[in-house]
Structure 1
Amino acid sequence: MYNLPDVAESAETLERLVRKEKDAQIQRRFQMLLLLKTGEAKSRSGAARQLDVHRHTVSDWLELYEEGGIEKIQEVGDPGPEPGQKSIPPEVVEALKDRLAEPEGFGSYTEIQQWLAEEHGIELPYSTVHGIVRYEIGAKPKVPRPSHPKKTSRSK
């Protein structure tokens, strides 16, 4: 089990910080420190359960606290990519649509994945490629399959 850091601030100071903080993310971090200071939470997992966050989140917050105390724990990082940000540039999506429209298409989503890497230098997980092709573009990889002889020769 990991050692918990000593919380330097008093329980009263932490209670005041929790009450007056407007940002819910930072307020939760102060609450975590308060839980640890008062002994209401005896572990990272215990604090995580009470705050309804993952234990790794609590570990990350405690790491920030150990690095720079109460000031550092108030730093909120970037939330990640903007909503609607695309993993494939629009011009590559167009090239992919054109290629999917060709009669030979692709043999599989893995083939599409390889084509994106080789032709456009875009490395994406299989699930991302599948999601984009199937649900955003609304296509499927297609390979012409031999037709059954009885289907093609109709007797008159």
Structure 2
Amino acid sequence: MMAGIYKIEIAETEQELKKMLAIEKSGANKERIQVLYLLSSKQVKTIKEAASIIGRNRVTVQDWLTKYRQGGLENLLAKKASSGRPRTIPKWAEKSLIKRLESSEGFNSYGEICEWLTTKLGIEAKYKTVHQLVYYRLGASPKIARDSRSSGVPTV
């Protein structure tokens, strides 16, 4: 094997790869498919050439081809799982919170939501975290209990 020339069997035909390139929405996946296309159509002979054309480091392209070799196109295009820290308020708790926010009971304040999360669901969450979740992510707000007979002024 000559230095820099990478032997790889590409299962997909040039036409299949060309079609995939046309319909792929993700830029990251397009690059990966493009490398396979360049190699299968013999437009490039080495990884270095392919990397140069798509503007990526040779090692990055080698990593992609290793993934392809190990698990095909599916493995090459697989999304990476988030490596971030787990959410303070898990999805299941968020669903319960949404139900409660939608109910007629609602909440009077973000502080009350924090208390409810702690007492009912056993989740300790800071005021700021609760506010960001409810206001920005859920697009909601704690409901203020109003007397239906009044002129819209909250009852105290």
Question: Taking structure 2 as the reference length, what is the TM-score of the superposition?
Answer: 0.49
